[in-house]
Amino acid sequence: MINLIRIQNCNSWLVSADKDLKAKLHRSLRVRERGYYHSKAYKMGQWDGYREFFKEQTGQFATGLLPEVLAALKTLKQEYKIEDQREKADWLRSYIDEEFLNLWLPPELDDKVYLHDYQVDLVNQALKCSRGIIKAPTAAGKTYIMVSLLKCLPPKTPVLFMTKNKNLVNQNYEEMKLWGVQNVGRFYGKYKEPNYITCATVHKDTLNSLGNLLPKFKVLIVDEVHECMSKVPVSAYRKMKNANIRLGISATPFKFGGKDKVHKYTVKSFFGPVFKTKTTDSGFLTTAALQDRGILSPSRCIFYPVTKPPLPYEPYQDAVTLGIAQNLEFLKMIKDLARSRKGRTLILVERIEQGEHLKQLMPEAHWIQGKDTLEERVKVINDLKSGKNVIAIVMRQLITAGINVMLHNLINASGGDAEHNVIQQMGRGLRCASDKDRLDFFDFEFKINDYLLKHSNNRIKVLQNEGHEVIVKKEIDF
C-alpha cells in the first residue's frame, strides 16, 4: 500500500497502515530539551527529556517539517503520494531583478537602489517556495528583502508582520511607509491600527487583541524569528490556519548555533527550512564574505583581562552579580575605555543596576532601559547613527536584534555565552558609515571565575569562527 501525505497550512499527516514506519518517524523526529537533566520530572523518572515532533498514533506533524519527513521516507525507501490541500500561494510576480525596488523609489533617496545578488536570490527563493527561513547577517539588507516581498503580493493581501518588540515594529513600519507600501497599520501599546498589513509585537496583550483576526491572515512574516518562538507567539502561529505564505527572517534563526534542537525544530515546524543562496559556495551568507565585499564594515575585536575580585567558588548567577553587575573595578574600566574612544560608542549591559552604576560614573552618557518610551529610545538610536562623540548605555535585551545603528565602538559589558547573542551583538556595529573605517569591538576575559572564563572563551571562539580579527590582551592599555 502506498503511503499518503496530506498537507495543510499548519499541520500535515502521514496516512499509513504501516505502524513500524510511524514508529521510526516518531523516533527520528524527537529531540531532547536543552538541560533536560536538570528537570525535576526527569530526575523523578516521570519524563524522558524528549520533545516529540511526529505523533506516532495519528501520523501528524507540523507542515514546516515536511522536508524532514520526505527525506526519511526516501531513506527508508517508502513510496508515497501527496495530497496538498493548501491554496496556491498568490504572488503577483515569480521573479525579481536587482532594479526591482526602483519602481517605488522614495523621493528621500537621491540615488537608485540596486539589490545585491543575494537579496535578489533570497527573494526569488521565497517567491518559489512561499515557506522558509531567510538567513542573512545583520546589516545585510533584510529590510530591502522584506519590502521586496511585500511589493510582490497582490494589493490588500492580509499580512501579519511580527517581531519581538515595539522598536523593531516601529522601525519596519516606517520603512514600509517610506517605500509606499499601502494599507499598513501598527498594533502594539497605544497603537491599535489593524490593516491589510499589520505590524505587531509578539507580546501577549497584542496577540490576545488580534485573536479573532489571526485566521484571516494569508501571509505571516516574522522578523528576528529566533526571538519569537515562546508559547505566546507559537499559539498565534497555530491559529493562522489560512496563512499559506510563512517566512522567518534572522541572522541567527536557531539559538545556540542549532544546539538547542527543540528550538531549531520548533522554528522549522512553523516556517520550514533555511533557504540556500546560489551566490555563495556554501549556500549561506557569512559576515566575513560580506566584509570582503565591502557591504559590512571591517572589524577588530579586543578582549581585556578582568582579574578582580577573585570569585573561584561562586555559582554562575552570583558570579554575574559580583563579577560583572556590581564589580566597581570592572565598571570603572568600562568608563575609562568608553571615554578613551572617539566617535559613537555603545555599551551593552546585562542588568539595570549595572547601567545605573555606569550612568553615575558617566553622566554624559545616554542610558536606555525597558521603562523608557519609544520616543526616548529613537532619540538615542538616531544619535548612534549620526552623532559625533556619543556614549550610550543600553540593556542588551533591547538592542541585540534588528536595531539599525552606525557605531565606531561597541563594548560588551554584559558577558554572556549564547552564540546567537554574540553574533547579534556584534552585528549591531557592522553597518558601514561615511565617517567610519572599521568597528572596534571590546569584550573581556573574566579570569575571576570558571563560569565567566568559560563564557569569555566561548565568545572568543564564536567571533573567530565568524571571521573577525580577535586580539586577546594580557593587560590594560588604555
The answer on 116 and 41 residing in a single domain is no
Return the half-sphere exposure (C-beta side, CA atoms, 13 A cut-off) of residue 165.
15
The answer on 297 and 281 residing in a single domain is no
Q: Is 91 part of any domain?
A: no
The answer on 255 and 185 residing in a single domain is yes
Q: Is 309 part of any domain?
A: yes
Q: Is 19 part of any domain?
A: yes
Q: Is 337 part of any domain?
A: yes
User: All 3 cell numbers of residue 160?
Assistant: 501579519
Q: What angle is formed at CA 222 by the lines to CA 461 and CA 92, rounded to 5 degrees?
A: 125
pLDDT at 401: 54
pLDDT at 446: 98
Q: Is 94 part of any domain?
A: no
**Cβ pair 72, 24 in contact under 8 A:** yes
Structural domain count, the chain: 3
Q: Give the domain range for residue 59.
A: 3-84
**Structural domain ending residue among the three candidates 261, 285, 309:** 285
The answer on 104 and 55 residing in a single domain is no
**Unique residue bearing C-alpha cell 556590581:** 326
The answer on 242 and 162 residing in a single domain is yes
Rounded-to-integer distance, Cα 462 and Cα 422, Å: 7
**Structural domain ending residue among the three candidates 56, 84, 112:** 84
Rounded-to-integer distance, Cα 231 and Cα 222, Å: 15
Q: How many residues does the chain have?
A: 478
The answer on 323 and 456 residing in a single domain is yes
**Structural domain ending residue among the three candidates 253, 269, 285:** 285
Q: What angle is formed at CA 425 by the lines to CA 279 and CA 332, rounded to 5 degrees?
A: 150
138 secondary structure, DSSP code: T
pTM of the model: 0.90
Rounded-to-integer distance, Cα 105 and Cα 101, Å: 6
Q: What is the pLDDT along the chain (478 residues), one digit of tens a residue?
A: 789 999 999 999 999 999 999 999 999 999 999 989 989 999 999 999 999 999 999 999 999 999 999 999 999 999 999 999 999 988 999 999 999 999 999 988 888 999 999 999 999 999 999 999 999 998 899 999 999 999 999 999 999 999 988 888 988 999 999 999 999 999 998 899 999 999 999 999 999 999 999 999 999 999 999 999 999 999 999 999 999 999 999 999 999 888 899 999 999 999 999 999 999 999 999 999 999 999 999 999 999 999 999 999 999 999 999 999 999 999 999 999 999 999 999 999 999 999 999 999 999 999 998 888 878 888 898 999 999 999 999 998 877 655 678 999 999 999 998 898 899 889 889 999 999 999 999 999 999 999 999 999 999 999 999 999 999 999 999 9
Return the half-sphere exposure (C-beta side, CA atoms, 13 A cut-off) of residue 413.
34
C-alpha torsion angle, residues 58, 59, 63, 69 (rounded to 10): 170
Which 3 state secondary structure label does DSSP give 329?
A: helix
The answer on 370 and 246 residing in a single domain is no
List the CATH number of the domain containing 353: 3.40.50.300
The answer on 454 and 316 residing in a single domain is yes
The answer on 148 and 57 residing in a single domain is no
pLDDT at 428: 85
For 459, other C-beta atoms within 10 Å of its C-beta total 25
Contact residues for 76 (Cβ-Cβ < 8 A; gap 6+): 21, 24
Q: Is 477 part of any domain?
A: no
User: All 3 cell numbers of residue 209?
Assistant: 487583541
The answer on 147 and 62 residing in a single domain is no
Which 3 state secondary structure label does DSSP give 210?
A: coil
Q: Is 59 part of any domain?
A: yes
List the CATH number of the domain containing 72: 3.30.780.20
The answer on 437 and 379 residing in a single domain is yes
User: All 3 cell numbers of residue 107?
Assistant: 523621493
Q: Which residue, 450, 371, 462, is CA-closest to 412?
A: 462
274 secondary structure, DSSP code: B
**Cβ pair 108, 116 in contact under 8 A:** no
pLDDT at 69: 97
User: All 3 cell numbers of residue 365?
Assistant: 552618557
The answer on 307 and 256 residing in a single domain is no
**Cβ pair 153, 93 in contact under 8 A:** no
Q: Is 416 part of any domain?
A: yes
Contact residues for 158 (Cβ-Cβ < 8 A; gap 6+): 196, 216, 217, 218, 219
Q: What angle is formed at CA 255 by the lines to CA 440 and CA 37, rounded to 5 degrees?
A: 125
Beta strand pairing call for 191-192 and 197-201: unpaired
Rounded-to-integer distance, Cα 29 and Cα 43, Å: 23
Which 3 state secondary structure label does DSSP give 40?
A: helix
Q: Which H or E run includes 63? A: none
